[in-house]
Amino acid sequence: MKIHEYQSRDLLEKYGIPIALGQVVFSTAEAAGAFKKFANPSCVAKVQVLMGGRGKAGGVIHVHTAEEAEAFCSRFLGKPFSTYQSAGESKIVHAVLISEDRRIDEEYYLGIAIDRAHDQPVILFSREGGVEIEEVAIAKPEAITRIYFSYTNLPTKEQIFSQIRKQFSEDKIPSQIADIAAKLALLFMEKDVSLCEINPLALCGGSTIIALDAKIVFDDNALFRHLDVAAMKDPDEEDERERKAKEVGLNYVSMGGNVGCLVNGAGLAMATMDMIKMAGGEPSNFLDVGGGATADQVREGFKIILQDPRVEAILVNIFGGIMKCDVIAEGVIQASREIDLKVPLVVRLEGTRVDEGRDLLKNSGLQIISCRTIKEAAQVSVQKAAEYRAQHVHSR
Amino acid sequence: MSILVNRATKVICQGITGKAGSFHSLKCHEYGTQLVGGVTPKKGGEMVGPIPVFNTVSEAVTKTGATASMIYVPAPFALAAILEAVDNDIKLIVCITEGIPTLDMVRAVAYAKSKQVRIIGPNCPGIITSEECKIGIMPGYIHKKGRVGVISRSGTLTYEAVWQLTQAGLGQTTCIGIGGDPVIGTGFIDLLELFEKDPETEAVLLIGEIGGSQEEEAAAYIEKNMKKKVLSFIAGTTAPKGKRMGHAGAIVSGVRGSAQEKIATLEQKGITVIRDLSEIGNTFKKIF
């Protein structure tokens, strides 16, 4: 779960990490007041949306007067916003952060993540801040200091200091950074964070280190024990269909193509999308109905897929293991009848009692196309989607 | 031969009185696994079918001599269950539970390693040695004793591959679902090493997916250390950046972890990557 920059700032502040002074506003009426409070003499105004690349899209600017702050808020608040990183999707801006405009001497990067290869959390520090850390990691891996730590021994300020001291000519700056990193590590462990980044961690006025931006991602699996964190969730973070799917226990990700797919199991669902693409089509979604695949799950899955008007065929790919193929076939038939499915439906079943399952589909009286291999099913669904489009193009 | 589990392995189930725990314990028992006991606090003395239930792992191990545990305990309590197993002479823990906090697994994995205990999973289908021992939720009948070792990050995708190997008449030695979470107990490399040493395993199928760099690390290991043929399948070439695809660990973050990158690395190291999911069985047939 991601939270907004202004929420991350509050959390950093609670852990004693210095941040730039500022205030979040939710309406244009609040903008002038916030500007006057923090102007030195200008302010930085930032749209609060959960996407990268805000600066390049004009969502982060210096404002020099209260009027400019108001103009910025009225331009963005309540309106859709997108960036080069948001893949064509836009989000409505509900908040703007207005903060003091600190003169920046140097920009550093400080982050903490779980290193999956080491099964341990790791502090990442680089003097090359303000840019994508992944680009630094590729171009100049030696520019990143990695400090691993275990759940039993959180790193102390002194330990971190000793690791980064040599990158600076004196003690004062690395000492402040080490203090911030130790506090961030405590936050990371106490709040079950998956990733936190302060980028940039800025050197201001020659001697003071402050966090100028913060990104915190929490472990969804641990939200049950952090109700304060769960309460910060922005419902707009997720696509509406994705949220609805989650409510009924399904895993859905919107993809934008025209061939819907419904699969049991996440790995098989990904592989099914890959096969649709290999057959020359574009999957409209990722949908994992879970290992079992009951009639209820299939029906809810169909409903969610069909909320996307671009869908022109549905491919069901189910490996019947514990749940037998004939039971799954019954579920698919029942679900298709209940929602009066209009788009072509291609079903590929494999596993226990597959022949019985295929017979049920064949004798259902419904227009269900049953395929034997996933390759064939992918090809047929891509082709059926094209035919459906050709027939319905005028009625749209 | 096989790896990690066989017909002599004695298994208990932690969380046996829950819905999934009791259902799958009985299925494992039917398959022929020596599922000798279960553990649920305060339910000691009850029976799940023919399987006795104990209050603690300590009691279950003392009474049954089990060395392996299959865990279905709900996510908030899974860490405690794993630690209890480690502390009571269980040597192989197969954790099926999905949704365990990552930092809990960081702790569990570090603790188990310090005591030389192996964890498989979490969030995995489990491990099966064909026709001998099934510890997990996979359908037993699709497995047939044979020649290929299977290691996978997925569940049903693994069943698909196993079924193709069975239908191709090749069968499997042992098949392990290592789990879809960011932090897991046993990775590809540990298992590749075991398969390389197992005389019955003639080739290995490695099923990977987007996220992390396990496949890249495995590729480097295979090039350097494996004499046996390893074939691979990687799911998620169409997966978008920054989206979690079902499994907690299946996410392409920034420029890292894409299927394309993994496939390229594997192929550079001389490992065949099967692109067409329906061709897994046939591709293996050709190498024998």
Domains of chain B from N-terminus onward: 10-120 (3.40.50.720), 138-287 (3.40.50.261)
Which of A214, A237, A260 delimits the end of a domain?
A237
Nearest to B103 among A192, A266, A268 (CB): A192
User: β-strands B229-235, B203-209: how paired?
Assistant: parallel
Identify which of B181, B102, B95, B110 has the alpha carbon closest to the alpha carbon of residue A223: B102
Token pair recorded at residue A43: 């302010």
36-75 in chain B: CB under 8 A from chain A:
75
Q: Which residues of A touch B104 (CB under 8 A)?
A: 222
- Count how many domains chain A has: 3
Cβ atoms of B14 and B73 within 8 Å: the answer is yes
What order of strands is seen across the sheet that includes strand A22-25? A22-25, A96-100, A43-47, A60-63
Looking at residue A84, which CATH number applies to its domain? 3.30.1490.20
Secondary structure class of A221 (helix, strand, coil): helix
What is the domain-level CATH number for residue A384? 3.40.50.261
Helix, strand, coil share of chain B (percent; to 5): 35, 25, 40
Residue A193 shares a structural domain with residue A127: yes
Give the three-class secondary structure for B177.
strand
Does the CA dihedral B98-B100-B102-B106 come out positive or negative?
A: negative
Could you tell me the CATH number of the domain that includes residue A15? 3.30.470.20
pTM of the model: 0.92
Residues A237-296 have pLDDT tens digits of 777 788 888 888 888 998 889 999 999 889 999 999 999 999 999 999 999 987 666 778
Beta partners for B244?
Answer: B251
Contacts of B239 in chain A (CB under 8 A): 270, 273, 286
Q: What is the DSSP letter of A207?
A: T
Residues A195 and A175 in one domain: yes
Domain residues for the domain of A303 are 240-395
Residue B277 touches partner A, C-beta closer than 8 Å: yes
Do A165 and A57 belong to one domain? no
Say if strands A214-218 and A208-211 run parallel, antiparallel, or are unpaired. Answer: unpaired
d(CA A187, CA A193): 8
Residue A197 designated active-site: yes
Give me the pLDDT at residue A283, please. Answer: 97
Q: Give the end of a domain, one of A49, A79, A101.
A: A101
Does residue A226 share a domain with residue A373? no
Min Cα separation A350/chain B (Å): 8
Looking at the structure, tell me whether residues A12 and A56 fall in a common domain.
Answer: no
Going along chain B, which residue ranges are E strands?
10-14, 34-39, 47-48, 51-54, 68-71, 92-95, 118-120, 126-129, 133-136, 145-152, 172-177, 203-209, 229-235, 272-273
- pLDDT means per 10 residues in chain A (396 residues)? 95 97 96 95 95 88 96 96 80 95 94 91 91 78 91 93 95 97 97 94 94 94 96 82 83 91 93 96 92 76 90 92 81 88 92 88 91 94 95 68
Residues 6+ away with beta carbon under 8 Å from B231:
B203, B204, B205, B206, B271, B272, B273, B274, B280, B283, B284, B287
Minimal Cα distance from B162: which residue of A? A351
Cβ atoms within 10 Å, residue A226: 18
Going across the sheet that includes A259-263, the strands are A251-254, A285-288, A259-263, A313-320, A345-351, A368-371
Q: Is the pLDDT at B163 greater than 70, yes or no?
A: yes
Residue B126, SS3 per DSSP:
strand
**CA distances, B40 to each of A135, B22, B90 (Å):** 50, 11, 16
Q: Which of A193, A219, A237 is the last residue of a domain?
A: A237
Q: Please judge whether A321 and B142 are an interchain contact, meaning their C-beta atoms are less than 8 angstroms apart.
A: yes
Using an 8 Å CB-CB cutoff, list chain B residues near A225. 76, 101
Specify whether A61 is located in the same domain as A138.
Answer: no
- Does the beta-carbon distance from B160 to A268 stay under 8 Å? yes
**A373 has a chain B CB within 8 A of its CB:** yes
Of the residues A197, A238, A300, A330, which is catalytic? A197
Please give, rounded to a whole number of angstroms, the shortest distance from the CA of A165 to a CA of chain B: 29
pLDDT digit string, tens, across residues A51-97 = 888 888 999 999 999 999 999 999 999 999 998 877 677 889 999 99
- Claim to verify: residue A258 and residue A317 sit in the same structural domain: yes
